[in-house]
Amino acid sequence: MGRGAGWSRRRFMRALGVGGAAAAGALATPRWLTAQDSVPRRMVVFYTSQDQLDALWRPPVGDATDAALTELSPQLSSLSPFADRILQVHGVRGAHGHIFGHAEALSGTPGGDPLPTAFPSQGTLDQLFAAQHSGETSTASLQLAMIAGRNYESVISFLPGADPEALPIPLWPQQDPRVAFERVFRALSPTAARDLWRSRRSVLDHTVGQLGGLRDGASGEESRLLEQHLESVRELERRLGEEGGATAARSCETPTEPMSELDAPARLRAHLDLTVAALACDLTRSVSIVVEPGQGGPVFNWLDADGVAPGDWIDWHEVSHGGASPLTSTGAPNKKHAMHRAVQTWHADEMAYLLSQLDSVPEGDGTLLDHTMVLWVSELGLTNAGQQNPHLRADVPLLVAGGSAGTGLRMGRYLDLQDEFHYHDVLLTLSHALGLERESFGDRGTAVVETLLA
Enclosing domain of residue 352: 39-188+255-452
- Closest CA relative to residue 133, chosen from 279, 328, 13, 5: 279
* Rg of the chain, C-alpha, whole Å: 24
The answer, as to whether pTM is greater than 0.75, is: yes
- Domain of residue 101, CATH code: 3.40.720.10
Three-class secondary structure of residue 97 per DSSP = coil
Asked if 423 contacts 384 with a C-beta cutoff of 8 angstroms, the reply is no
In order of 75, 81, 342, 368, the CA distances from 332 in angstroms are 19, 31, 15, 43
Same domain, 26 and 97: no
Q: Alpha-carbon distance 92 to 66, whole Å?
A: 14
* Cα distance between residue 228 and residue 225, in whole Å: 5
| Residues 265, 353 contacting (CB under 8 angstroms) | no
Same domain (yes/no): 223, 109 = no
Query: How many folded domains does the chain comprise?
Result: 2
Helices marked H in 217-254? 220-240, 246-251
- 269 & 199 share domain: no
Claim to verify: residue 373 and residue 307 sit in the same structural domain:
yes
Phi first, then psi, for residue 382 (nearest 5°) are -75, 155
Q: Which of 204, 233, 251 is the last residue of a domain?
A: 251
> Which of 142, 199, 196, 200 shows the shortest CA–CA distance to 173?
142
| Torsion angle (degrees, nearest 10) of CA 327, 328, 333, 337 | -70
241 and 377, same domain (yes or no): no
Task: Let me know whether 184 and 206 are in one domain.
Answer: no
In a shared domain, residues 172 and 264: yes
Identity of the residue numbered 376: W
C-alpha–C-alpha distance, residues 1 and 203, integer Å: 32
Beta-strand relationship, 398-402 and 372-377? antiparallel
Which among 162, 144, 437 has a CA at the least distance from the CA of 291? 144
pLDDT at site 394: 73
Q: Cα–Cα distance between 308 and 334 in angstroms, integer?
A: 9
245 lies in the same domain as 370:
no
CB atoms within 10 A of CB 359: 21
Per-residue pLDDT 10s for the chain (454 aa) are 433 334 344 443 444 343 333 333 333 334 434 433 468 889 999 999 887 888 888 999 999 999 999 999 988 999 999 999 999 999 888 776 666 777 888 998 875 554 455 678 889 999 999 999 988 899 999 999 998 876 677 889 999 988 877 888 989 999 999 899 989 887 665 555 555 555 545 555 655 566 566 666 666 666 666 666 556 555 544 544 443 333 444 467 777 777 656 789 999 999 999 999 999 989 999 999 999 887 767 889 999 998 899 888 988 888 877 765 565 555 555 888 889 899 999 999 999 999 999 999 998 889 999 999 999 998 887 776 545 555 566 788 899 999 887 789 999 999 999 999 999 999 999 999 999 999 999 888 999 999 999 8
Cβ neighbors of 98 (< 8 A, separation 6 or more) are 153, 294, 295, 379, 380, 391
Please state the separation of Cα 208 from the chain's center in Å: 37
Question: Do residue 144 and residue 226 come from a single domain?
Answer: no
Helix/strand/coil (H, E, C) string of 382-411? Answer: EECCCCECCCCCCCCCEEEEECCCCCCECC
- Of the three residues 204, 220, 251, the one that is the final residue of a domain is 251
d(CA 290, CA 105): 12
Q: Is residue 80 domain-shared with residue 110, that is, in the same domain?
A: yes
Pair 201, 152 in one domain: no
Per the CB < 8 A criterion, the answer to whether 414 and 382 are in contact is no
pLDDT at 373: 97
Distance between CA 223 and CA 219 in Å, rounded?
5
The span from the CA of 121 to the CA of 160, in Å, is 8
> What was the pLDDT predicted at 26?
35
Contact of 278 with 139, CB cutoff 8 Å: yes
Q: Evaluate the omega torsion of the peptide bond into residue 170 and state whether it is cis, within 30 degrees of 0.
A: no
Q: Are 172 and 280 in a shared domain?
A: yes
